[in-house]
A and B are shown apart, each in its own frame.
Chain A
Amino acid sequence: MSSLQPLNPDDFDYWKAQHLLNRAGFGGTPAQVRGLAGMGLQGAVEYIVDYGGIEAEPVRADLFDGDIMSPMSRDQRDVLRQARRDRDEVTLSEFRRRRQERQRADRRQMIEIQRWWMTRLIESPRPLEEKMTLFWHGHFATNYRAIEDSYHMFMQNQLFRVYAVGNFKGLTHAVIRDPAMLRYLNNDQNRKQEPNENLARELMELFTLGEGHGYSEDDIKEGARALTGYTYRDDSFIDRKSRQYRRLHDDGIKRIMGESGKWDGDDFVEIIFSRRACSEFICLKLYRYFVNDRPGDPDRDRQQFIMDMATQLRRNKYALRPVLKALFMSEHFYDPSNVASQVKSPVQLIVQAVRSLHTPTRQLSALASAADLMGQNIFYPPSVKGWAGGRTWINTSTLFVRQNAIVYLLTGRRPDRYPWQDDGTRYDATHLLEHLREPNGAVSVQDAVSYLLRINLAGEPHPQRVASLVAFVESRGGRLDNPMLIALLSLITAMPEYQLC
């Protein structure tokens, strides 16, 4: 029996739908969760994964300016060369000044792109599309600091979106053509005469096979040769019929993992993807992202589940959609040991809070900067390994930032300013309790508290938490008006449990 055995459809209830929406997306309001639960297991999973039919804001190439960092024209280059020869300080300093100006403009655009993605994460009707875009951003990690071209980051972000639940192999072929990646891992300097191994190494070690999984240092060297000449001009991958490519690319015979031929970069990818380890590596990563990110090696049952995912991925020639569907349908995904077992990433924390509590979005730049303070600055992953995730998100400082960022969403008071001033936009939390109300409008304190805890915490609330919040409401007169709801939500979102999803 496969470990991917689906959940009994009768067991798919509100709480399982909530788990699905939290993990495959960024949560939702109680009304949205009820809607999803009503679709039944299969319907809900298809709704989440086959999102192509859901209308979403198109991503147009002209959303941002692609020319800020475009290379100098031939004329400009000539002027600069001449000025260097003549030691013409005036012209040289003018060039420096203009370059600094463009860099400043580009950094401003990067902030705009951050805001744009933040908005999309919060508003997209295709949550899995954004969730997978974020997954690929952490997987094929590229940091703007080293790229210094915001449009390349934007293009890469859109590449991840297009391939979100598409084909992993196809995406990898695209990534070795992606200007931001080529620049980040120095493949723009990888040429026949002087090979640079950086991309070849990370391609195997971090992107596809994992360290120690069937390749040697020699394979890296030979792979680097295969990737020579894979570079870009302006915003596009180099034309492989061009003289420049022929000059840079080593078209000799390479021997990669035992296979010899006149391999190029795409052949190299094909050889990698013919290895079983490649499917297992990415499935382990997807498992940690969607199911359970406990530190240490997965136990035997989990290992088996990952192997079965990998088998299915290979059978589908690396198409992700069928594997993700099987994953979200599986009994294992909904197992109590996997619910409320994952530390929310900073982006997950913020986006899920806005989506599920339906708070005002407040200032997008404040949200992006809060995520940054919690350790996840989107478009600036800390290294080519992406974000380590899991427990590394949490320490005493980030915990306060996490709690305070939600206070900001609830109240509009920025936690980094003291004394506080709110932004004047009031959050109405009463909608959360709407369907609990008796026909006469009354809600019992016990019911309201239990319910608020249950929809905000991924798992069953601890009885002690229920009791202490009920006591708190009673001590304040038992009224459940909006200020009291906001007080309750501030306390619930400050619980250690709230950091889990």
Chain B
Amino acid sequence: MSDHDPTYTRRLFLERGLTLASLAATAPLFIQRSALGMMQSPALSSQPGVPDDRILVVIQLGGGNDGLNTVVPYGAGAYYDARPDLAVPAPGRGTQQRPAALPLDDRQGIGLHPDFRGFKTLMDEGVAGIVQGVGYPNPNRSHFTSMDIWHTADTEAKGYGWIGRYFDNTCAGTPLPEGAVAIGRKAPLAMQGAVQKPVTFETAELFRWMGEDLHPALEAPYQAINRSGTLPSVNPDSQLGFLMRTALDAQVSSDRIRAAVAKPALVEYPRGNLAEQLRIVAAMIRDEMATRVYYVSMSGFDTHANQFGRHSNLLRQAGDALNAFYRDLKAQASSGRVLTMVFSEFGRRVSQNASGGTDHGTAAPLYLVGDMVRPGLLGDHPSLTQLDQGDLVFNVDFRSIYAAIIEDWMGAPARPILGRDYRKAKILS
């Protein structure tokens, strides 16, 4: 295979419809080989017994989702004392304005917000789980810092992201062109590694050169320039050779993602931004992209005032979107190889504030969806009476969930990625 032959490179990669040109000539031979194997299924696992084609989808609820009104401790009187205007009524005690919680575990007195029913259905089907009381020591109540702590898996909020480090540690220094895909304007810190960087786009429509909109005549010369691959006489090892290959990758990737996303979904999705992002992710999974981690996010959870109606809307959107996403994956027979994790940077304070809302808090539940998830409630609800400065005390360090995902789902050793050992949370069945 000669990298000096542009037609070869171009034909090969266009035919396979996958972007691997940047690996050729940059990567040592053994990586090239495994990368080519990856065109069918990603081959990253080093852990025996873990299938190679598993996917992680991370959903970020930005702003601090109110855990106590999502997973409702209706059995605790302290909950109703702390939130006279905001509490969700216990099952059987609902009213027209305030429907009751959907019962999950009567013994523990735990239910779900009535508008989170899309998620409740998944719980009933045994394909969703909730880890209760997730947090970390010395909780930080700043959105930015706490979010960075979750992204870096470091309580100092320093360094690269945990998913980025996963790729850095498993790919022997060569980034996977489409290993990590984030939907959004900006690549999330969690996905940033020293070497691995995520493909990021807000909508597939923006993942392309916008100059062609200036005039239709520009498209042909632009394509000729960017699809040439490494031109003859250009040293493939040089910076220019690398750039020419990446430019070709970008075109192929853009074509591919836009084509995947244009196909109608197998199920109907509700309206809303999160649902649209998940529809795109499902389309890419269905198209057998070599992506191992997808990242999507939804914001608006910072409910300091007039929380009740707003929060109900948010939960309805999130629950229904998750539900449609799971149905889609099921319909395309992927639900067994996709694990979805939903988190927020913190929960909210136990007591309501004077504006009908809640302020920044600490520990909160974390949600998981997938056929392999250990269903139901995991761990105990944090105490509503033993508080730390009015906030819940966490039971489960979020990094013990990351550790379980990295080792048992993604099949890589967690210690080099997380920097130390965490007891793995039992989140998979």
Kindly state whether residue A487 has any CB partner on chain B within 8 Å. yes
Is B221 a contact partner of A491 (Cβ separation < 8 A)? yes
Kindly state whether residue B1 has any CB partner on chain A within 8 Å. no
Is A468 a contact partner of B221 (Cβ separation < 8 A)? yes
A372 to B217: give the CA distance in the assembly, Å: 31
Say yes or no: A403-B160 contact (C-beta < 8 A), given A392-B195, A395-B175.
no
In this complex, the interface size class of chain A, counting residues with CB under 8 Å from chain B, is 35 or more
Q: Would you call the interface of chain A mostly helix, strand, loop, or mixed?
A: helix
A403 to B222: give the CA distance in the assembly, Å: 11
Is B160 a contact partner of A382 (Cβ separation < 8 A)? yes
Kindly state whether residue A404 has any CB partner on chain B within 8 Å. yes
The residue on A at minimum CB distance from B353 is A93
**Chain B binder among A25-33, A316-324, A413-421, A437-445:** A413-421
Say yes or no: A497-B209 contact (C-beta < 8 A), given A397-B200, A416-B202, A487-B218.
no
Chain A CB count within 10 A is highest, among B19, B148, B206, B244, for B206
Kindly state whether residue A73 has any CB partner on chain B within 8 Å. no
Is A396 a contact partner of B249 (Cβ separation < 8 A)? yes
Kindly state whether residue A262 has any CB partner on chain B within 8 Å. no
Say yes or no: A341-B238 contact (C-beta < 8 A), given A388-B194, A497-B243.
yes
Task: Give a binary string over B276-294; 1 marks a CB under 8 Å from any A CB, 0 the rest.
Answer: 0000000000000000000
Q: Would you call the interface of chain B mostly helix, strand, loop, or mixed?
A: loop
Say yes or no: A399-B246 contact (C-beta < 8 A), given A382-B192, A496-B226.
yes
The residue on B at minimum CB distance from A469 is B221
The residue on A at minimum CB distance from B221 is A472
A420 to B157: give the CA distance in the assembly, Å: 37
Segment 416-453 of A: residues with Cβ below 8 Å from B: 416, 418, 420
Is B199 a contact partner of A491 (Cβ separation < 8 A)? no
A397 to B202: give the CA distance in the assembly, Å: 11
Is B246 a contact partner of A418 (Cβ separation < 8 A)? no
Chain B CB count within 10 A is highest, among A400, A413, A476, for A400
- Chain A residues, CB < 8 A from B211: 403-404, 407, 490-491, 494
Kindly state whether residue B67 has any CB partner on chain A within 8 Å. no
In this complex, the interface size class of chain B, counting residues with CB under 8 Å from chain A, is 35 or more
In the assembled complex, the CB of B158 is this many whole angstroms from the nearest CB of chain A, namely: 6
Say yes or no: A391-B186 contact (C-beta < 8 A), given A415-B206, A469-B221, A494-B225.
no
Is B244 a contact partner of A373 (Cβ separation < 8 A)? no
The residue on A at minimum CB distance from B19 is A396
* 19 additional A-B residue pairs with CB within 8 Å, beyond A107-B144, A343-B239, A383-B159: A89-B390, A100-B142, A372-B186, A395-B177, A396-B19, A397-B207, A399-B247, A400-B207, A400-B254, A404-B209, A407-B209, A415-B210, A462-B233, A465-B225, A475-B217, A490-B214, A494-B209, A494-B225, A495-B226
- The chain B residues found within 8 Å of chain A, CB to CB, are 19, 141-142, 144-145, 148, 156-160, 175, 177-178, 185-187, 192, 194-195, 197-203, 205-211, 213-215, 217-218, 221-222, 224-226, 228, 231, 233-234, 238-240, 242-244, 246-247, 249-250, 253-254, 351, 353, 359, 389-390
- The chain A residues found within 8 Å of chain B, CB to CB, are 89, 92-93, 96, 100, 103, 107, 143, 145-146, 148, 293-294, 340-343, 372-373, 375, 382-384, 388, 390-392, 394-400, 403-404, 407, 411, 413, 415-416, 418, 420, 462, 464-465, 468-469, 472, 475-476, 486-487, 490-491, 494-497, 499-500
18 contacts between A and B (CB under 8 A): A145-B145, A294-B239, A382-B192, A392-B197, A395-B246, A396-B249, A397-B187, A397-B201, A397-B207, A400-B207, A400-B250, A403-B209, A465-B225, A469-B221, A490-B218, A495-B225, A497-B240, A500-B239
